Every structure is written in C-alpha cells, then in structure tokens.
Amino acid sequence: MRSFKDINQSGLWVYYTGLLFAFFMPFGKQLLLPFIVLFLFSLLISPGFGKKSTIKKSRNYFIIFSSFYVLHVTGMLYTTNISRGLSDLEIKASLILFPLFFILSPNFLFGPRFFSGIVTAFFLGCFGSVFFSFIISSIQYFETGSLYVFYYSNSSYFLHTSYISMYIIFAIFSMVVINAQIKGKTIYFILSGFLIFYLNLFSSKSGFITFFLAFVLMIIFLLYEKRFKRSVFLLIGALAMFLSSLFIFPESSGRIKVAVETIKTNESELKQSGESTADRLLIWKTALELSRQNLWLGTGTGDVKDELVKKYLEKGMNHPAQLKLNAHNQFIQSFVALGIPALTVLILIFLIPLWLSFRKKYWVYFAFILFFAFNIMVESMLEVQAGIVYFAFWNLLLWIKMQEKE
C-alpha cells in the first residue's frame, strides 16, 4: 500500500481531491465548501508548490483576473455598509485564491489525466445533482399528484436552474470535445440524453438559449474535426431528446413566450408585471442611470445593493425593491459598484481568452467563455458562490491547458 507521501509526490492527492471538488460543484455551496478547502490544501502541500513553475504566459492573465478582486478590496475604502462589503469579499474569495494557488502550482499536476478526470467528474456530478433532484420531485409527485413539482425551481434541489443548466451544457460540450480520452462512451451518451431531456424542465430562459448556442458550436466543432457520421448521430440524438421533452412537458417553454411578450410591453405595465424579464428590463435601465452618477468609482463594494434599492423605490419598482435584487447583469453590476475600472477589467477577463481560444482553436475554452459571458448578461453570476467558484476554477484551468497548445 502506497504511503501518503508517495501519493502526494506523484500528484495523485491533487488529482483525487480535484475529482471530489469537481464532482460536488453542482451540489451547491453547503456540500462543496469542504472540498474547495481540501483541493486548495492539496495544492499547497504538493511537491514544487511556490517555485513558480506555472507557464509564464499564464501569469499576466492571472494578474488581470486577480485585479478584479483587488478592485473590490479598494472599493471598501469608500463604502459605508462595511458588513455587506466584507460579506461580498468573502463570497468572492475564490477570485483571488484560485489564481494564487494555480500560479504557484507546478504544471505536471494539471496534465491530460487530471483534465480528463476533472471533466468526467464534473459531468457525473451534474448527473448526480439532477438525478437526486428528480428523486425528490418524484417523491413530491406521489404526495401531491402535481406535475409542477418537476418544473422550474422545483426541478433543481441544489442550484438555481440558470446555474445548473449552464453547468450541464458546458459539461456535455466538454465531454464531446475530449471524448477520445474517455472510456465507456456509451453510458455517457445515455446520461447526456437524460440531462438534455431535463434541461427543458428547468425552464431557464438563459438555459434554452445557451443550449442552442452549444448546439451550433457542437456542429461547427464536429465538422471541423471531420467527425461527420458521429456528428449526425450525436446532434440528432441531442435535439431529439430536447424536443421530446418540450413535447411531453410543453408548460416549461411557456416562460419563453411570456418573455417575448414582455419585451413588447410599455414601462408602466412592466412595473406592475413582477415577471422576471420585466424586472430585468427595468432593473437594467435603472442600474445604468445609477452608474452614470459615479462613473469612475461606483457606489463602493458594500453599498451597491443599498443604492440600487433606493433607486428602485424612487422609480416605483416595488417588486425588485422588496426582493433587494441586484442588477441581474454582471457587467452592469460591476459598473455600478466600482465604475469604469471594474467594467474594463471584467471585459478584458472575457475578451482575452475568447480571442486566444478562438485563434488557437481550443474549442472547449472558447465555448466555456462564450456560455458564461452570455449568462452573466442576464444574471449577476459573480455575486454568488455558484457562479464565482465555477468560473474561477474552470477559467484558470482551461487557460493553463490552452497555453500548452502551441
């Protein structure tokens, strides 16, 4: 039996804790937190940690990425709601911890085995989270007899449906891209079918759009790789599962129809609606008005929500004010909170890898950035741990893997 020292020296300790971390990511912060600590600790005690052996090209981007957190620390200097600001810094801690630990870790820890294992574990974690939610909904169905226990917020026990939808779509896309490294592909194809079928039940508007965006990218990727026969089989199967779910559970797509109608509604009617798309349209307009009051500094790290609520009340937006909603757009949220510097850094965090991944034809990273960038245009995902940990981990890992493609 191998000793702990031997396992640690070979990098297997990082590998095993990484698998656990990736698997439990779709299970929410309560279950995930211990595995974040365990994974970061395994990096800390790994051989070569602190010797700056990470690819040199990674460091400049890591500095840009970390500066987003530094701006939030700076924003505490002129904030009045200190407790909320400190809470925000705590939630966003992964934005500084992951760059710090990744840049100080040796490259061999993140080799092909680690990457394919992490992708597989994350995919299985997505399935486990959804299947567990399915069991809970089934129990509720037998108790109530109502099919609505399978819809929208009831369909996902651990995460908001927008987040789990994004997780699933990225996981499936990643499995398709790296499937040559995965054993037992048939079972993963079956599990993917279940997850695609379930996407409709989540009734996430951003999830629907992200799925069709992924569908188009998958076609392009498979054609580029000249996997013609496989591409036809995979894509027809994926589309069939999604459309069959729409046919069996047509109520789920009703939120899309409501959203389309809402866009055509005038502002006075929007205020009375309470519908999520109506709230977003009003919130975006209001938040942008607030951002213009302090373009360079913003409201401060801890004051952004307080200032938004004040603005909502001034404009008679009672529903967003009661719920204390954020800007529901990360670019606008950061702009309001910390001004032009934060908005600029956030844009660079996405533009740089998007351009480089496209140029290097590293499609899994290109898709990840594209999916997340779209989703944060309708959700402030870097305000909650489910978005922060997901983005911080995958973005930095994929950046390191992309630097190996020369």
CB 20 within 8 A of CB 37: no
Identify the band that residue 263 occupies on the pLDDT scale cut at 50, 70 and 90: very low
pLDDT for residue 319 is more than 90:
no
The pLDDT of residue 238 is 76
pLDDT for residue 271 is more than 80:
no
Identify the band that residue 249 occupies on the pLDDT scale cut at 50, 70 and 90: confident
The pLDDT of residue 255 is 54
As a whole number of angstroms, the distance between CA 115 and CA 342 comes to: 31
Q: Which residue has the higher pLDDT, 1 or 81?
A: 81
Mean pLDDT, residues 309-323 taken together: 91
* Cβ-based neighbours of 365, under 8 Å, separated by 6 or more: 353, 357, 398, 399, 401, 402
- Which residue, chain included where needed, has tokens 């996902």? 156
Instruction: Tell me how long the chain is.
Output: 406
- How do the domains of the chain map onto residue ranges? 62-93+273-406, 146-264
User: What pLDDT, in 10s, does the model give residues 218-235?
Assistant: 888 877 777 666 666 777
CB 79 within 8 A of CB 301: yes
pLDDT, the chain, mean: 86
In order of 217, 225, 388, the CA distances from 392 in angstroms are 23, 29, 6
CB 353 within 8 A of CB 395: yes
pLDDT for residue 70 is more than 60:
yes
CB 98 within 8 A of CB 133: no
Identify the band that residue 393 occupies on the pLDDT scale cut at 50, 70 and 90: very high
pLDDT for residue 175 is more than 70:
yes
DSSP 15-44: HHHHHHHHHHGGG-HHHHHHHHHHHHHHHH
pLDDT for residue 259 is more than 80:
no
Q: What percent of the chain has pLDDT over 70?
A: 86
The pLDDT of residue 337 is 97
Q: Which residue has the higher pLDDT, 208 or 25?
A: 25
Burial label, 321 (beta-carbon count in 10 A; 0-12, 13-18, 19+): middle
3-class secondary structure, 12: helix
The pLDDT of residue 264 is 46
Q: Of the ranges 259-263, 314-318, 333-337, which one carries the lowest mean pLDDT score?
A: 259-263
- Which residue, chain included where needed, has tokens 């698997």? 23
Identify the band that residue 78 occupies on the pLDDT scale cut at 50, 70 and 90: very high
User: What pLDDT, in 10s, does the model give residues 96-135?
Assistant: 999 999 988 888 889 888 999 999 999 999 999 999 999 9
Identify the band that residue 360 occupies on the pLDDT scale cut at 50, 70 and 90: very high
* Cβ-based neighbours of 105, under 8 Å, separated by 6 or more: 14, 43, 46, 48, 49, 53, 54
pLDDT for residue 327 is more than 60:
yes
As a whole number of angstroms, the distance between CA 396 and CA 130 comes to: 26
Phi, psi (degrees; rounded to nearest 5) at 329: -160, 115
In order of 27, 129, 162, the CA distances from 23 in angstroms are 8, 9, 18
Distance, first Cα to last Cα, the chain: 39
The pLDDT of residue 240 is 80
The pLDDT of residue 219 is 81
pLDDT for residue 324 is more than 60:
yes
pLDDT for residue 313 is more than 90:
yes
The 10 Å Cβ neighbour count of residue 153 is 10
Burial label, 273 (beta-carbon count in 10 A; 0-12, 13-18, 19+): middle
The pLDDT of residue 68 is 97
Residue 75 has, within 13 A of its CA and on its CB side, a CA count of 31
Mean pLDDT, residues 186-197 taken together: 87
Mean pLDDT, residues 139-146 taken together: 88
Q: Which residue has the higher pLDDT, 206 or 233?
A: 206
As a whole number of angstroms, the distance between CA 391 and CA 25 comes to: 11
